[in-house]
Amino acid sequence: MGPTSALTVAARGHGHSLQGQAQAHRGIVVNMELLKKPEMHVHYGKLPYVEVSGGELWINILHETLRHGLAPKSWTDYLHLTVGGTLSNAGISGQAFKHGPQISNVYELEVVTGKGEVLNCSEKQNADLFYSVLGGLSQFGIITRAKIALEPAPMKVKWIRVLYSDFSEFARDQEYLISSKHTFDYIEGFVIINRTGLINNWRSSFNPQHPLQASQFNSEGKTLYCLEMTKNFNLDEAGTINQDVETLLSQLSFIPSTLFISEVSYLEFLDRVHLSEMQLRSKGLWDVPHPWLNLLIPKTKIHDFNKEVFGNILTDTSNGPVLMYPLKKYKWDNRTSAVTPEEDIFYIVAFLSSAVPSSTGNNSLEYILAQQKRILDFCKKSNIGMKQYLPHYATQEEWKVHFGSRWETFLQKKQVFDPLAILAPGQGIFQKAMHFSQ
């Protein structure tokens, strides 16, 4: 219909995009989950991979690949998301320090561009489109097929949690672990402020190493930092895994009485958030507003950020988990469209809040959004060098600041692959059929 039409198109996966970004006002929203081709197929060989539809859920991919003794290398914490959705952003979890985000673990894509062309692309074929689409916020094309890298899947996981009261020690240990050759397979951190009975809540899934000391630990009124780690193993390694874990833990400075360990299957660990979802659904607490804010903070600024945000702005973390853990820039392919801070190590800090619709208190949507605005204002005023992950901005000027020196490249790629700005209008980056000016 060309530039005379206001019609736009957005791809919607499992419905977890923020701020209505998977919507197209008076346009077409494509339900990607209904895209059933190609059927999932696992390929063996020196570089095994699974070929899937862009609308396939990661949880389904996990179930299918495990049947073949394989699994994708990099994950998100929550698996009930589509392949196209996470690859359009980055796909981050506690394995990203080791394998990079999900966009660093893709061999090939099939993409429908804004021009309506259906193109296969990879590092060697239509490479410009391939790297543009990965982390490209659906601005250049809709991912309809992907080949995802696989590795041998472990059977079991040692799942460990410990607490810190000193942020410097917490950050130092995390940075040490992600930089060590011999380390854990998954590393994430959490910030916990003024949570009553924290240790007791862990007991339903974890065993304390020192039960008596753990029972005497009090979390109320404190700002604590939880380090969560896993070590993967198979049954024939059961004899040595405890020694490996003990050796790694001996190098850390956590509070000894807060060491909790569990042993679960690989599937149980990866799908852990779904269990929480089911519990919340049963209480009617899942289908509520989730005003999430995800920030990437340079390592040199993380102490300033921690001091202000967790010392002044936030008084508790009762509205949802707050994640904080470091990532390594060199694991992110800089040819993709994903934007990260300039430093070699940066932290993801994710405020995963849930609001109570009828509330006017500290758990209301208005209160949480106001709190998040204070955090963003602080970052801007203090020149933190922060980049948003799953970004949302109201104006193109803000998007230009987000992309920085990469804005011109992003703009040029838009002209090539979606010149009429038909795709993903909900991001608010481009207007339909706008006149592109250099």
Among residues 16, 43, 68, 274, the one annotated as catalytic is 16
Residue 188 annotated among the catalytic residues of the structure: yes
- Helix, strand, coil in percent for the chain, rounding step 5: 35, 25, 40
Tokens of 44: 């063996």
Total residue count of the chain as it appears in this document: 438
CA distances from 73 to 11, 285, 313, 391, 402 (A): 25, 32, 36, 24, 28
Tokens of 330: 């060199």
Look at residue 437 and tell me whether its pLDDT is greater than 50.
no
Catalogue all structural domains in the chain, each as residue range(s) with its CATH number: 2-153+399-427 (3.30.465.10), 156-278 (3.40.462.10), 288-389 (3.40.462.10)
Look at residue 322 and tell me whether its pLDDT is greater than 90.
yes
Instruction: Note the pLDDT of residue 39.
Output: 92
Better pLDDT: 17 or 96: 96
**Over the stretch 110-133, which tens digit does the pLDDT of each residue have?**
999 999 999 999 999 999 999 999
Among residues 14, 63, 68, 77, the one annotated as catalytic is 77
Question: pTM for this one?
Answer: 0.95
Task: Establish how many alpha carbons lie within 13 A of residue 84's alpha carbon, considering only the half-sphere containing its beta carbon.
Answer: 31
**Over the stretch 165-200, which tens digit does the pLDDT of each residue have?**
999 999 999 999 999 999 999 999 999 999 888 998
Does residue 91 come out as left (phi exceeding 0), alpha (psi in the -120 to 50 range) or beta? Answer: left
Among residues 188, 228, 271, 418, the one annotated as catalytic is 188
Please state whether beta strands 28-31 and 9-12 pair in parallel, antiparallel, or not at all (unpaired).
parallel
Tell me the C-alpha distance between 26 and 49, whole Å.
38
Q: Which of 1-5, 155-159, 366-370 has the lowest mean pLDDT?
A: 1-5
Residues near 62 by beta carbon (within 8 Å), at least 6 away in sequence: 71, 72, 79, 267, 270, 271
Share of the chain above pLDDT 70, in %: 98
Tokens of 28: 């077409």
Q: Please, which pLDDT band fits residue 436 given cuts at 50, 70 and 90?
A: very low
